[in-house]
Chains A and B, each alone.
Chain A
Amino acid sequence: MPRTPALIVALALVASSASAQLPGLRKYTPADRQRQQQQQQPLLTGIDALRADFAAQSGATTVYFGSNSAILAPQAKTFLTAQAAWLRRHPDVVVRVEGYGDSGDTRDHALAMGAARAAESRDFLILLGVPTAQVSTTSWGKERPGLGRAVTVLVQ
């Protein structure tokens, strides 16, 4: 979450008032802080709004795989089914499925596993009626940390 400068200033004042009470400086209450945060919270627009809606409607944008496996588990299929339904309702949105390998794997095998996981997820979306042009894939192999997974990212 990007914090606006105003919020950072406010938090800094809170911090300094807690350690050393400066004369004439009003003490911020938790209620003040909450009000401030609500005011600073920007409304989601454009692709951010679509991303939030996609994540909420799908249940999850990330599906996980067993070690050294590109087989979709039942829960992964549930999430992908919801993703596919959302994508069919939003034919103008383009997504990229990014696959990740296992950290204990060797580099190129991990790259291939990430690609296979992304491809299996994409194939499942297409099977459920999402047009092929709407979904691309890539792989991060084990070059980025985390568990073996496939993440559906809205790109435009």
Chain B
Amino acid sequence: MKRIFLPFLLLGLASSAHAQPENPAATVIAVPPLTSPDGGTRGNQMLQIGWDATQLIVADLRQTAEVMPLTPKRDDYYSYPEVTAPTFSKWRSAGAKALVTGFVQSRSDGRLTFGCYVYDVQKGREIARKGFVLTPGEWRRAAHKCSGLAYTAITGAPGIFDTQIAYVAESGVGEGRMRRIAVMDSDGYNHHYVTAGEAMVLSPRLAPKGGQLAYVSFAGGKPNVRILDLGSGQERPLVPATAITFAPRYSPDGSRIAFSMMLGSNSDIFIVGASGGSPRRLTTSPGVDTDPSFSPDGAKIVFESDRGGSQQLYVMNADGTAQRRISFGGGWYASPSWSPDGQWIAFTRRGQDGRRIGIVRPDGTGERLLTSGPGDEGPAWAASSREILFQRADTAGRSGLYRIALDGSEPRQMTIPQDGSNPDWSGVMD
């Protein structure tokens, strides 16, 4: 269990993610070091994992606008009985309104039991708890789950810590530029490539329940949507079409995929079962209909169409009926994405000032631009519906991934090994 190097990496990551200003309205939360009931050498190993997990929980919560963790001290040994019976007065005087405690215990089968508890310090009562059994190598996921438990208990929104990001990693220049699909945890860990780089790739879309990825590959000479099983590495075409297919998006329950298919010079939206079947056509207008995105209940689809002469956003039922335009703000609107809580549709607006990311209510009201452009596009929602991940190209044409919160703070660039584009952000993993 040689994980001594991890805390240093972690601190580097935490400080880069810490650039956002402290929010005075944030709930202050104390996160004392996770403890262990074990003794001896085993106990020390468990305390080491506990300390690594503590720092990860703090780094997770520090990224949010709503929760502000106190900085934990490793020397503040926290006893096992205090996990379930905290001394609330001590945390009240430290200024905390909430408290996370936890423990790591070794099991006889070599795995670990990981316990996580969240308390309302003011009221002096427990508000959430969760336990996990996992291998020692999985401690990061347990810590992310614990961060999510605390975040959700305090804000009511899903946590984004145990989520994955997929994007197109780009390196090299010109026509020889290599593009591979990369998948990583939302904090940048477990970064790995899932395509080899021989063919151009676009538009990775993670299945809501994980395990699968839809993407566009040029391997067959023209763009086609493929489904990649992330476990086995096996893949298949989404539909056995000889036509160009692109812009795939899973339904929220993962059972269906909406996508675009070219019929001559006309692009229309189709829907097909995620495990196969014959596709059904949803739009028939001449021109380009593309970039479908489901509402969280799966009943509606927002998409872009240039049927009226310029790209605009339209909403329809998931069977293709009741199509109506919702964008009227001037300029061109593209690449819509429906928020997981159903409240907003994020979009890319093309105007005189370039491409910018904005949000609008599904009924077309409340439009607001979030970024300044000029090379922004491809918004993807965090599971919390409070943050958007997007692609920003600089004047030299290099592109990176940025996160922006809906509260109007400045976008923050994510640290990735190369240039990146086409991001997608998963829901909370099971």
Instruction: Report which A residues bind B (CB closer than 8 A).
Output: 68, 70, 96, 104-109, 111-113, 115-117, 119-120, 123, 136-139, 141, 143-145
Given the known interface contacts A106-B355, A116-B265, A120-B265, the answer about A96 and B335 at a Cβ–Cβ threshold of 8 Å is no
Write the chain B residue with the least CB distance to A113: B288
- The answer to whether A108 and B265 touch across the interface, beta carbons within 8 angstroms, is no
Q: How extensive is the interface on chain B, given as a class?
A: 20 to 34
Interface check B55, CB cutoff 8 A: no
Q: Which residues of A contact B264 (CB under 8 A)?
A: 119, 123
- The answer to whether B265 and A111 touch across the interface, beta carbons within 8 angstroms, is no
Residue among B223, B304, B334 having the largest count of chain A Cβ atoms under 10 Å: B223
The A-B contact count (CB < 8 A) is 86
- The answer to whether B221 and A107 touch across the interface, beta carbons within 8 angstroms, is no
Which 4 residue pairs across A and B have the least CB separation, nearest first?
A: A116-B265, A138-B222, A106-B334, A119-B265
- The answer to whether A144 and B175 touch across the interface, beta carbons within 8 angstroms, is yes
Q: Which residues of A contact B378 (CB under 8 A)?
A: 106-107
- The answer to whether B175 and A107 touch across the interface, beta carbons within 8 angstroms, is no
Q: How far is the CA of A110 from the CA of B221 in the complex (A)?
A: 17
Complex partner residue of B262 from A106, A115, A144, CB under 8 angstroms: A115
14 of the cross-chain contacts (CB-CB < 8 Å) are A68-B306, A104-B354, A107-B203, A108-B246, A108-B290, A108-B334, A108-B335, A111-B202, A112-B260, A116-B262, A120-B265, A138-B223, A139-B223, A139-B262
- The answer to whether A123 and B265 touch across the interface, beta carbons within 8 angstroms, is yes
- The answer to whether B288 and A107 touch across the interface, beta carbons within 8 angstroms, is no
Q: Which residues of A contact B354 (CB under 8 A)?
A: 104
Complex partner residue of B288 from A109, A120, A123, A143, CB under 8 angstroms: A109
Write the chain B residue with the least CB distance to A106: B334
Q: How far is the CA of A147 from the CA of B288 in the complex (A)?
A: 19
Q: Which residues of A contact B422 (CB under 8 A)?
A: 107
- The answer to whether A111 and B221 touch across the interface, beta carbons within 8 angstroms, is no
